[in-house]
């Protein structure tokens, strides 16, 4: 909301937890972006192939350390972004991913945090990210 978007919660959970949108005021075009939240008390990363069907406008928002807001971080990736992370880390070659279509790591570690750094959200980065996928 601080980035100038409204937020709505769908009545049913069919893979989208939130919808960020701009409502078309002041001559702007109405745009909406589906968001899948992955909230964790740890620094976990996961990906499920089922999210690919939502296309390039879906953002997967990883919220870390939710029980300690002062240490909380948010990373927002498209499915394509997350796949690039999976490939860089070698996760895309695991049996979990290739056979089950799902991968999960509980603790990110230094290397994964470095890979995810460009996706770490700030107010400005939310604006940039949402407009980039629009």
Q: Give the CATH number for residue 67.
A: 3.40.1350
Which residues constitute the domain of residue 73? 6-133
Decide if 99 contacts 92 (C-beta within 8 A): no
Going from the first residue of the chain to its last (134 residues), give the mean pLDDT of each consecutive group of 10, the final group possibly shorter: 82 88 77 92 96 92 93 94 98 97 95 97 86 79
Q: What is the CA 96 to chain-centroid distance, rounded?
A: 20
pTM, full prediction: 0.88
Report residue 67 as tokens: 């029980």
Per the structure, the count of domains in the chain is 1
Whether 1 maps to a domain, the answer reads no
Contacts with 72 (C-beta within 8 Å, 6 or more apart), sequence order:
63, 64, 65, 66
Residue 76: the pLDDT is: 96
């Amino acid at each position: 909301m601080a980035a100038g978007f409204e937020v709505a919660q769908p009545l049913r959970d069919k893979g989208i937890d939130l919808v960020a949108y701009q409502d078309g005021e002041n001559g702007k075009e109405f745009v909406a972006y589906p968001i899948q939240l992955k909230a964790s008390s740890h620094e976990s990363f996961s990906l499920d192939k089922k999210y690919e069907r939502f296309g390039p406008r879906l953002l997967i928002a990883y919220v870390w350390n939710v029980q300690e807001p002062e240490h909380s971080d948010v990373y927002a990736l498209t499915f394509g972004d997350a796949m690039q992370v999976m490939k860089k880390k070698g996760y895309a070659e695991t049996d979990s991913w290739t056979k089950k279509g799902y991968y999960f790591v509980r603790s990110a570690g230094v290397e994964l945090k470095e890979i995810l750094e460009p996706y770490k959200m700030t107010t400005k980065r939310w604006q940039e990210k949402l407009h980039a996928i629009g």
